[in-house]
Structure 1
């Protein structure tokens, strides 16, 4: 990494995933005094250096979960991050744990859903505008704005639990024609349960048996609500990179390891690794028939 930026995360990922630990000493205090001006230069600008560093740490340590970072901060994808093969080789040699392990064991409160069908913008077919959290907080209405393709407030995940999430908040609606608000995801289904139909491009709100739509709300504003399903294009939604094909994990019984994507050294041969619930270990079996 160059200068600074991203090293705080990289150190945490590297230490935890490779067998170490970071602890906060009881009653400790840390101070950080910034200079008026840095004594060094940032080649290409501060943003360029920080984006490069962040891209490198994502490529080396975050496995498939790097997609979340790239969707939220698409500008990072435009930087040249150089060659990270030696860092990946070191991670492999040290038998460092996958990022899924880090999320499950070190940061279980992470807002990243483990299983999801889509990640990115939710675009209305009629208006060509996107659902947007508008930077609002819990118990406030979700918004609606021109799609800008810059991630941020327009990044939503549709999860395997049939929730529409933005960070740790889920879209929630309690009654027909009521406003769609953002509440803490409770994983108890109910008002937060939406069934997406990929053929019709509709979200069915299970409790009210109504469809997510764009309409005039009771307070006179214009935004998402649920109404009786009527095949209107206002009730049609396109999800970014939506997929709902059934993925399977293939367990090698003798070694108790999972079939994983090929290594950098031999890109034609799948490998066996410790099972980690990542997408690198998920496989589609086509035309499969199971017989007794």
Structure 2
């Protein structure tokens, strides 16, 4: 525990000092109930979480710490834990579930028992840094309809070292409704150059670590009680908050480390389809409007659970809260999205000369986005990997926010085309001529082409336009609804 008391996060010290000046007048901030759910958590990681909260939070801002035990079986989490907790210098509530109820329902138990003005949720394998709590509560103090999230740093799952993460990301999701971190929009990047300490909006939240006004949490519908165990609850809350008049913001002055396990610690009663994909089916049915058809079309597991879901109570909540549409969400909260819309192309991009289709790379980058050289493969009937969107601005993008990207200036060797993270820069803008069927790079007016080697692994290039068949492309629209 001495390391926690003295501070172990040298890489964050400058940011912490700057942020501490911003949030020094915190006495009028709401007091927080800090809710931590655990199941068979290791003693060391649970105590690391607890002591980082105690040592790095202003005592005046902690109403209580609520531990919710989701039916742990380890003996040291029974009486030894109870005896240890009574010695801690803060108010602790320990709630035990006699049977496994899963993360979602366990968090609801904690929220219902909480007496603080704000609810702050943490996983049981975290480390909070100095300033983490007041930075979150400042967001709520400014606007009670805002959900505040920290920057989530990494605790190495082997060495348990604390590793500062890359901050220039916000939360979103792919076509399979899997949460992902994507690069911030260009507008937010520019805004952060002026003041990198200010909170910024995020289309979605990771869901494990956040703070919310207690009354607002219940007014907005808390959690969907018909969701089971874990999975999808973060997106359900993200859509609900944004579409029903609230906001989600990431507070850069709040850093919390988190252990990302190699495999899920959760068991799924009845299998993953009847839990995770049932949860995601509920999300789609309630919040995605016509885009739910798109989701179910390409996700067989969720589609198989669609008819089993009774979402009438959540639809009534949506109506009562006068929530906006998913289209409003895409247009206003996340206009950089890569989802299909009526005003943009969606479908396959086929090379006429080779009778092959453009395909999304398989290799994942550091951000878990598929990146690599742009390649073709034998066309298969409507598989999701060969679906692309072309926006009215000329960006050719696909699932996981990756775009067709080409050099703007000549270099040594062929000008190779890649599929990489969407940036919004001009090197990712294209023009398609329906008459000539040429796909031109907007900056240099060179055409998308196949190299002379015709080796698939060499990838695509851009070259001077000459009208040959390898430079002709057929944009084949696919009905996404």
**Aligned residue number for residue 249 of structure 1:** none
Distance 1:109 1:219, change over 3 A: same
Deviation at 1:160, TM superposition (A): 0.9
**Aligned residue number for residue 92 of structure 1:** 319
What per-residue deviation string (whole Å, max 9, x for no partner) do you get for residues 223-244 of structure 1?
322332325166222333389x
What per-residue deviation string (whole Å, max 9, x for no partner) do you get for residues 91-128 of structure 1?
12320133345456666775658885223432323434
Distance 1:182 1:28, change over 3 A: closer
**Aligned residue number for residue 243 of structure 2:** 17
Gaps of 5+ in 1: 244-278, 280-292
**Aligned residue number for residue 159 of structure 1:** 391
Count of aligned pairs between the two proteins: 238
Counterpart pick for 1:58 among 284, 293, 316: 284
Counterpart pick for 1:133 among 360, 364, 386: 360
Counterpart pick for 1:223 among 459, 464, 480: 459
- Between structures 1 and 2, the one with greater helix share: 2
Deviation at 1:200, TM superposition (A): 4.5
Deviation at 1:196, TM superposition (A): 1.7
Between 1:224-233 and 1:15-24, the stretch displaced more is 15-24
Tell me if the contact between 1:196 and 1:202 (Cα under 8 Å) persists in the aligned partners. Answer: yes
Tell me if the contact between 1:179 and 1:217 (Cα under 8 Å) persists in the aligned partners. Answer: no
Is residue 428 of structure 2 the alignment partner of residue 192 of structure 1?
A: yes
CA distance in 2, matches of 1:131, 1:68: 20
**Aligned residue number for residue 75 of structure 1:** 300
Distance 1:222 1:107, change over 3 A: closer
**Aligned residue number for residue 47 of structure 1:** 273
CA distance in 1, matches of 2:441, 2:475: 16
What per-residue deviation string (whole Å, max 9, x for no partner) do you get for residues 15-73 of structure 1?
343245667895667789999773x631xx423543333133123212345466457x4
TM value normalised by structure 2: 0.40
TM value normalised by structure 1: 0.61
CA distance in 2, matches of 1:87, 1:106: 22
Deviation at 1:169, TM superposition (A): 3.4
User: Tell me, what secondary structure is at the counterpart of 1:238?
Assistant: strand
Deviation at 1:159, TM superposition (A): 0.9
What is the Cα-based RMSD across aligned positions, in Å? 4.3
CA distance in 2, matches of 1:23, 1:207: 35
Tell me if the contact between 1:118 and 1:159 (Cα under 8 Å) persists in the aligned partners. Answer: yes
What per-residue deviation string (whole Å, max 9, x for no partner) do you get for residues 129-182 of structure 1?
322232344984222233454324x34221111111234433222368521123
Tell me if the contact between 2:338 and 2:397 (Cα under 8 Å) persists in the aligned partners. Answer: no
**Aligned residue number for residue 43 of structure 2:** none
Tell me if the contact between 1:197 and 1:203 (Cα under 8 Å) persists in the aligned partners. Answer: yes
Distance 1:18 1:173, change over 3 A: closer
Tell me if the contact between 2:401 and 2:422 (Cα under 8 Å) persists in the aligned partners. Answer: yes
User: Tell me, what secondary structure is at the counterpart of 1:81?
Assistant: helix
User: Tell me, what secondary structure is at the counterpart of 1:121?
Assistant: strand
CA distance in 2, matches of 1:194, 1:147: 22
Counterpart pick for 1:204 among 430, 440, 453: 440
